[in-house]
Structure 1
Amino acid sequence: MDLVPVAPSRTDRFGHRAWWVAGAALLAVVVAGAFSTLPGLLTGPLHEEFAWSRGSIGLAASVNMVLYGLTAPFAAALMDRFGIRRVVVAALLVIASGAALTTVMTTAWQFTLYWGLLVGLGTGSMATAFGATVTQRWFVRRRGLVTGIIASGSVFGQMVFLPALSWTVDHHGWRPSLVSLVLAACATAPLLWLALRDHPADVGLEPYGAERHVPKPPPAEGAGRRAVAVLLASARTGPFQLTAGAFAICGASTNGIMWTHFTPAAHDHGMPATTASSLLAAIGFFNVIGTVVSGWATDRTDPRRLLAVFFALRGLLLLCLPLLMSATVRPPMLAFVVAFGLLDLATVPPVIALCREFYGEDGAIVFGWVGAAHQIGAALAAYGGGAARDAFGTYTPVWTVLGALCAAAAMLSLLVRRSRSSPDERSAVPAGSR
């Protein structure tokens, strides 16, 4: 592609448009992240009002989780076909529709359809692959930092909305809490339509940090076919296999076990459930800090080494966790909360950087598939953790196994070799197949 020099613009002097686009993307992720806080708050009220089994209620959450992972690569391909703005705004409206319909449901299968399918599809479209697409198009410099900031948005959304939603459920019921999120999504959609742009060339700019103009690529035809083709091509490569394996362990050791089984594990040691939930919220706070710092470090350090360090430290923390559990919150447990929170989402920026390094313009789609592996690992750990607790009467074997798996993930990260070509020269799928 021909690169044409561009003169500095007013936007360069007073703040590049890329930062406004990144801010809009962050807002979208924050609002979408708020919806992930609700299943835990809805289980009790739905069980009491409709007498549904907790298994049938949990089915909707499971469908939501699986679709969240599987939708991301197709959403990234759709963004290449129809543009970021159209896909994200449509996803927000799908989320709002699913949540609104949930308020008038009467049977459990409707909950699975509205919350599991519609909300799952919508939130999956704004998963971390969305952030990877934005940074890949709009940034040449500061990619790791921006990736970390956008990725932290989902956890920040949970932190911001969770206390208010919990209070609303306790004092006014579960339906008003859903309506408040529907209104938030509907209010955000027009703001995103105004602020988001698909490519710097749409507004006559070069990407942030680029010295020359980058033409906007033509729309990629066959979004679904391309997403599958990228998977088939990249899955045969060593970097994908190693990274996906490590990220599956990442999902198992964070979303799968901590967000599902930490509270009951702490309760086994006599800690009140409300106290354990507060510790999880604190982990979420340090998630934001850790992800942003990780993004900053990814711009300056080999992402393979960062991943290895993050996984090794996480494994040590999980091995020590049984020794820290008690009926009360003591300083060692507080130290665990801080350290685990800093490491929890810190793996995202390095993994996105590796996908971009090896697969170039297909990096966002590849990361979507790697993210699907993350969700599969989380689902297996969520089920396996409960099964192990039933079999052994304690969670100690679970922490031990996951600690060992994190050590394996650290080794897998170090086995990923450096790419010999520049990102702009690489693609997981030959151009003719798109």
Structure 2
Amino acid sequence: MLSGLPTSFQTNLGRGMFYGWRIVLLLSLTRFVASGVGMNARSLLVLPLEKDLGVTRAEISLMFTVEALVIAATAPLGGWLMDRYGARRIMVVGLLISTGGFFLLSIAQSLWQVIVIIALPLGLAYNWSILNAGAPILNNWFNLKKAKAIALLSVFHGAGAALLPLMALGISTFGWRWATAIGGIAFITAALPSMIFTRSTPEEMGLTPDGIEQATPHSPGQSGAGAEGTDLREAMGKPFFWVLGIGTACMLFANLSVIAHFVAILVSKGSTESTGAALLSVQFVMAVPFVIIGGWATDRFGGAKVLVGVMVGVTAGVAVLLWATDIWSYVIATVLLASGGAVWPVLWAGLGYVYGRAHYNVIRLSIYSILILGMSTGPYFAGLSFDRTGDYSAWLTTLLFVCAAGILTLIVAAWAEGSASKKPQRA
């Protein structure tokens, strides 16, 4: 059963660190590098692509929109595959395809090629392997400390923003093509340990969630003996599923459209690209304390209640950015917007507590479809607004109304969450 692991890993299973925390560390390393050279670095490509390909920002922003629509359309399928075959298998395939995407992007010669590459190998495959494989694996490995474990992934995802200045330097020194190729090499190097040592469930190794007692081994696609959970039909039949999805979609619509254009927004206000890139890096790093606090709070109060607080922080950040005129107001906006970094661990752990393990992936990624559809047009309309008006003020004003709707919807979700939760009680 454990023959696929090195002896040093096998002999330490019975003492010391619970193996689930080893998996957290392995996945976090992958997240750290993937964040710095992958998804979060895309904002750095907006201006180079505009110059190199001779296209508008609205046209460039189509890559975010098309990517989001592809992910939304296939998310339930991804959830079903993870429930059926195990999240690790899907993660390994996705990591290999994503690596190829970095190199394909480095040789793209037209906007449509960039859009296809961003949508498929660097969108769909990257999303399944980096953003959506870790949470279900940790949902299986942890019960009592579910949110803390998932929060650590986001901590390293945010910390990976420390690599953004290096990516910006690489783009300015070698060009965006060589910088992307080098990023692909770093990506697969960091992903190899996760591909080798991660397991989808503790039952595969004769363990149980949190390492509390011994269990009977199960196949990679199973959640394990005694695992329970709401199925998709039952989940979709209750208001909580919909109000949580819509409220969180409002938050992501606002937050991700700002992130995608953050450097360009500051440049439009008279700042420099280097300052924008530095503050974007600060924003992701500053998300770390918000993620830690959010994980702690979710384990105690539930995900929807914490998401209300996150939504308030994002709203305040958009408001400050709208009226920002100097470096200090940019910094304040950056810190407030960083609160949005807590959304994913809070949401995913909260769903695990409400819906259990058995059908977690298909429910989670069905909600993810709502989120993607809600936020997919944000970057495009932000770029379109700039192309028509010459600045981002009208767009940021619109986002304030979206944020207000999100706050109200999440308050309803928080009210409905208590009766639905399956959160385990501490002994």
- Alpha-carbon distance change, 168 to 420 in structure 1, aligned in 2, over 3 angstroms: closer
Residue 381 of structure 1 aligns with which residue?
Answer: 378
Answer whether contact 2:69 2:372 (CA < 8 A) is retained: yes
* Superposed counterparts of 1:191-202, under 5 Å: 191-202=193-204
Cα distance, 1:48 vs structure 2 = 4.2
Residue 4 of structure 1 aligns with which residue?
Answer: none
- Alpha-carbon distance change, 75 to 283 in structure 1, aligned in 2, over 3 angstroms: same
Cα distance, 1:401 vs structure 2 = 1.4
Residue 115 of structure 1 aligns with which residue?
Answer: 118
Q: Residues 180-213 of structure 1: CA distance to partner in whole angstroms, max 9, x if unpaired?
A: 1221233234322321112222222222253352
Residue 236 of structure 2 aligns with which residue?
Answer: 235
Structure 2: gaps spanning 5 or more residues: 1-10, 223-229
Secondary structure of the residue aligned to 1:208 is: helix
Answer whether contact 1:30 1:153 (CA < 8 A) is retained: yes
Q: Which moved more, 1:94-103 or 1:367-376?
A: 367-376
Q: Residues 283-318 of structure 1: CA distance to partner in whole angstroms, max 9, x if unpaired?
A: 111112211221122112233322223323433443
Per the normalisation by structure 1, the TM-score is 0.81
Residue 365 of structure 1 aligns with which residue?
Answer: 362
- Partners of 2:309 and 2:47 lie apart in 1 by 39
- Partners of 1:232 and 1:218 lie apart in 2 by 24
Answer whether contact 1:385 1:398 (CA < 8 A) is retained: no
Structure 2 residue 327 is the aligned partner of structure 1 residue 329: yes
Structure 2 residue 93 is the aligned partner of structure 1 residue 96: no
Cα distance, 1:279 vs structure 2 = 2.3
Cα distance, 1:334 vs structure 2 = 3.0
Identity, in percent, stands at: 21
Residue 405 of structure 2 aligns with which residue?
Answer: 405
Structure 2 residue 23 is the aligned partner of structure 1 residue 26: no
- Partners of 1:270 and 1:310 lie apart in 2 by 29
- Partners of 1:166 and 1:233 lie apart in 2 by 47
Structure 1: gaps spanning 5 or more residues: 1-8, 221-228, 425-434
- Partners of 1:270 and 1:192 lie apart in 2 by 43
* Superposed counterparts of 1:54-93, under 5 Å: 54-93=57-96
Structure 2 residue 305 is the aligned partner of structure 1 residue 305: yes
- Alpha-carbon distance change, 273 to 38 in structure 1, aligned in 2, over 3 angstroms: closer
- Alpha-carbon distance change, 214 to 22 in structure 1, aligned in 2, over 3 angstroms: farther
Q: Which moved more, 1:148-157 or 1:260-269?
A: 260-269
* Superposed counterparts of 1:331-346, under 5 Å: 333-341=330-338, 343-346=339-342
- Partners of 2:155 and 2:371 lie apart in 1 by 16
Answer whether contact 1:322 1:399 (CA < 8 A) is retained: no
- Partners of 1:75 and 1:61 lie apart in 2 by 19
Per the normalisation by structure 2, the TM-score is 0.82
Cα distance, 1:98 vs structure 2 = 1.9
Cα distance, 1:97 vs structure 2 = 1.3
Q: Which moved more, 1:42-51 or 1:292-301?
A: 42-51
Secondary structure of the residue aligned to 1:347 is: helix
- Partners of 1:35 and 1:366 lie apart in 2 by 26
Question: Aligned to 1:147, which of 146, 150, 155?
Answer: 150
CA RMSD of aligned residues (A): 3.1
Q: Which moved more, 1:62-71 or 1:130-139?
A: 62-71
Answer whether contact 2:302 2:417 (CA < 8 A) is retained: no
* Residue identity in the other structure for 1:60: M
